[in-house]
């Protein structure tokens, strides 16, 4: 690339989000809702930030941020993976098989057998798929790993490898990373309430596998869940909102 073409490319980042980059290994924007911005980490000042539009391509040097009530979907045909970034979330993709989340939540649905590295501000894990899962950043620098369906496993440096089961949430904490406690999540409730799942115009490519996972969980667990999982404010503290079925109230507790 000549010096002139390099200058043209950087200007295109600012003035034409439809051509954020032209790499075949980049993620392509399939859908946006609300305000979604891309910050080029190789540039400085206001010129480094631009709005993200459908059909734009996002490469490793871009940080993607969504506003309140906003969201976006990105995908790669190269590794058959779809990413969805939720409201008030900040994330980047150093490579097609690697994501980093600073805050908020994101969904990944992949058919690839290659490991996907997941990192937050403090913790790291590797998912060996295929599968569909949601990542939520926590205050302690780790993240919640919530599998909707999977035939894979999750590996951390100090925690070894654990089998991933649909509806069985794992906490990834610490540096070097380890596993926190595991909790069962009501997949049916999540399927109905999560905007990462139901607030996009197209279904996920693995929606049938998600449906099977929900059905299997409903058959195995007849009773109702009595808690919603909140934030992890430290490595030893997880917030739970517990339902008091006798009085019809919700009470808050830390565990």
Q: What is the pTM of this model?
A: 0.78
Residue 240 has pLDDT above 60, yes or no: no
SS3 of residue 215 by DSSP: helix
SS3 of residue 195 by DSSP: helix
d(CA 85, CA 64): 9
Residue 100 has pLDDT above 80, yes or no: yes
pLDDT-wise least confident of 23-37, 91-105, 160-174, 188-202: 23-37
Residue 243 has pLDDT above 70, yes or no: no
Residue 126 Cα to chain centre, angstroms? 13
* pLDDT tens by residue, 33-47: 999 999 999 998 888
Give yes or no for a contact between 83 and 27, defined as CB atoms under 8 angstroms apart.
Answer: yes
DSSP 236: T
Domain with CATH 2.60.120.1440 in the chain: 79-218
Looking at 2.60.40.1180, 2.60.120.1440, 3.40.50.2300, 3.90.1010.10, the CATH number of the domain 79-218 comes to 2.60.120.1440
Cα 28 to Cα 59, 84, 133, 169, 248: the distances in Å are 9, 12, 20, 29, 46
What pLDDT is stored for residue 163 in this prediction? Answer: 94
User: DSSP characters for 148-174?
Assistant: EEES-EEEETTTEEEE--TTEEEEEET
Q: What's the longest Cα–Cα distance across the chain?
A: 72
DSSP 186: -
d(CA 220, CA 223): 9
Which residues touch 67 (CB under 8 Å, ≥6 apart)? 34, 35, 36, 37, 87, 88
| Residue 5: pLDDT band with limits 50, 70, 90 | very low
d(CA 109, CA 102): 19
* pLDDT tens by residue, 133-191: 999 999 999 999 999 999 899 999 999 999 999 999 999 999 999 999 899 889 999 98
């Amino acid at each position: 690339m000549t010096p002139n073409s390099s200058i043209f490319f950087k200007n295109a980042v600012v003035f034409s989000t439809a051509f954020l980059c032209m790499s075949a290994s980049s993620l392509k924007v399939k859908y946006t809702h609300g305000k979604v911005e891309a910050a080029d980490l190789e540039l400085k000042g206001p010129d480094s930030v631009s709005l993200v539009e459908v059909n734009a391509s996002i490469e490793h040097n871009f940080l993607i941020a969504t506003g309140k009530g906003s969201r976006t979907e990105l995908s790669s045909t190269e590794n058959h993976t779809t990413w969805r970034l939720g409201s008030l979330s900040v994330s980047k993709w150093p490579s097609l098989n690697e994501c980093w989340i600073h805050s908020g939540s994101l969904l990944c649905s992949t058919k690839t057998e290659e490991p996907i590295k997941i990192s937050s501000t403090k913790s790291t894990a590797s998912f060996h798929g295929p599968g569909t899962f949601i990542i939520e950043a926590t205050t302690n620098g780790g993240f919640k790993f919530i599998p909707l369906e999977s035939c894979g496993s999750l590996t951390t440096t100090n925690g070894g490898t654990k089998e991933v089961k649909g509806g069985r949430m794992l906490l990834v904490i610490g540096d070097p990373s380890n596993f926190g406690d595991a909790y069962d999540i009501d997949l049916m409730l999540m399927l109905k309430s999560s905007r990462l799942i139901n607030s996009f115009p197209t279904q996920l490519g693995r929606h049938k596998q998600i449906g099977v996972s929900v059905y299997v969980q409903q058959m195995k667990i007849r009773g109702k869940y009595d808690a919603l999982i909140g934030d992890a404010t430290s490595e030893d503290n997880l917030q739970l909102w517990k339902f008091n079925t006798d009085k019809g109230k919700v009470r808050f507790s830390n565990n």
